[in-house]
Structure 1
Amino acid sequence: MKMIASAFNRAEEFILCFALLEMSVLAFVQVVMRYVFGTSLTWGEEVLRYQICFIAFFGADIGLRYGAHIKTEVINLFLPDRLKPLMNAFVFMAVFAFSSAIVYFGMTLVLKVAASGQLTAATRIPKFWIYLPMPIGGFFMAVRSASYVVREVRKFCSKADLQLSPS
């Protein structure tokens, strides 16, 4: 299972790195074309906006993995060591609830836009593809936060067992 998670993590980081690289190249080309040649790609700005959304929703999962999101660190400073895993589990349950809401409402939006048949202005691709990273990124965050809840509860249980066992 750890091997699958590791492969998924590497793939996720590779895709996001590639997306950032592609975005940087496209932005550079847009600037050069606009200020040197006096024209620009008609679809460039639209694709850049969509890439920002893609990176934000998929990058949120990587931020969760590295602990880069805001959390209740101040409360952990005052808690005894054995209760810290419970507080962390509570935080990850809140992240799971939020991520699940993103999945639900994001999927609702994707289905409504798909049913309407809307196309993007410059690239003329179905607009539901633009909204699809929202529920997918939310799903990845929900799965990761659920696994972190399990990890923190196991930590708490193992610390509780250590304290209950006779010395």
Structure 2
Amino acid sequence: MSKRSFVQQLERVGRILEDALTVGLLGFMILLASIQIVLRNTFDLGFFWGDEALRVMVLWVAMAGAVAASRADRHITIDVLSRFLPARVRHVVKTLTAVFTASICGLAAWYSWGFVSMEMEFESTLLGGLPAWAFEVVLPLGFAIISLCYLFHAVKSVTCVLGHCPSEDEP
């Protein structure tokens, strides 16, 4: 197996796991929220941990979605001008944007790790006594992965600037 095919297989497995996690969490969120609504409106009761679990799952789904969007370079962008730029200049702008995004997400990962560390230190709990940091660690991990994705996008854009673009939008 060549190095390239191994990396492609690894990327494919990562995508499948990431998508499965997102779909599973979203499905469980919908199920839990529906059960909570029925229990409250019909029997005037519910799971004491339900609302807190839903908030945690919203955080996880949001980060998983952000990572998936980063992986595919599908985050919301304002690129009115880039449509009118020559291909090489467009790739230079894309490189600068990707480096800036990677830097900001790297800072977000760093500071969110500081937040998680404080949660560890103060022994905060969620869901009836479980350590809060275990649920919040998705923040630094997610931002770090997004930062890495945009570093890879920057490298791809640099190769296009240098004239070795692997796709059909070569400069």
> What TM-score do you get using the length of structure 2 for normalisation?
0.87
Q: Deviations over 1:97-146 (max 9, x none)?
A: 111011100111111110111112x4211111232110010111011111
User: Paired residue for 1:54?
Assistant: 60
Quote the Cα distance in structure 1 between the aligned partners of 2:112 and 2:103. 14
Q: 1:92 to 1:152 in 2, by over 3 A?
A: same
Q: Work out the CA distance in 2 between the residues paired with 1:9 and 1:148.
A: 16
Residue-pair matches, total = 161
The whole-number CA distance in structure 1 between the counterparts of 2:149 and 2:44 is 47
| Pairwise CA RMSD | 1.8
Runs of 4+ in 1 over 3 A off after TM superposition: none
Q: 1:65 Cα deviation (Å)?
A: 2.8
Name structure 1 gaps, 5 residues minimum.
none
Letter matched to residue 36 of structure 1? T
CA gap of 1:47–1:68, structure 2 versus 1, over 3 A, is same
Between the aligned partners of 2:74 and 2:40, the Cα distance in structure 1 is: 36
The one-letter code of the counterpart of 1:106 is S
Q: 2:159 aligns with which of 145, 154, 162?
A: 154
Amino acid at match of 1:74: V
Aligned to 2:103: 97
How do residues 6-21 of structure 1 correspond to structure 2 at under 5 angstroms?
6-21=12-27
Give the share of equivalent positions with the same residue, in percent. Answer: 19
Q: Does 1:64 align with 2:41?
A: no
**Amino acid in structure 1 at the alignment position of 2:90:** K
One-letter code aligned to 1:101:
L
Q: Structure 2 unaligned runs (5+)?
A: 1-6
Match of 1:110 in 2: 116
More helix by share: 1
> What is the TM-score when the length of structure 1 is the normalising length?
0.89
Shift of 1:25: 0.6
CA contact (8 A) 1:96 1:145 kept: yes
Would the aligned equivalents of 1:71 and 1:91 in 2 still touch at CA under 8 Å? no
Letter paired with 2:148: V
Between the aligned partners of 1:15 and 1:45, the Cα distance in structure 2 is 20
Counterpart-to-counterpart distance in 1, 2:50 and 2:135: 15
**2: CA distance, partners of 1:72 / 1:27:** 35
The residue identity in structure 2 corresponding to 1:54 is: W
Q: Is 1:99–1:139's contact at 8 Å kept on the other side of the alignment?
A: yes
Deviations 1:31-80 (A, max 9, x none): 11011111111110000001001111221011123343222311202311
TM-superposed CA distance for 1:159, in Å, is 6.0
How far apart in 2 are the matches of 1:130 and 1:43?
14
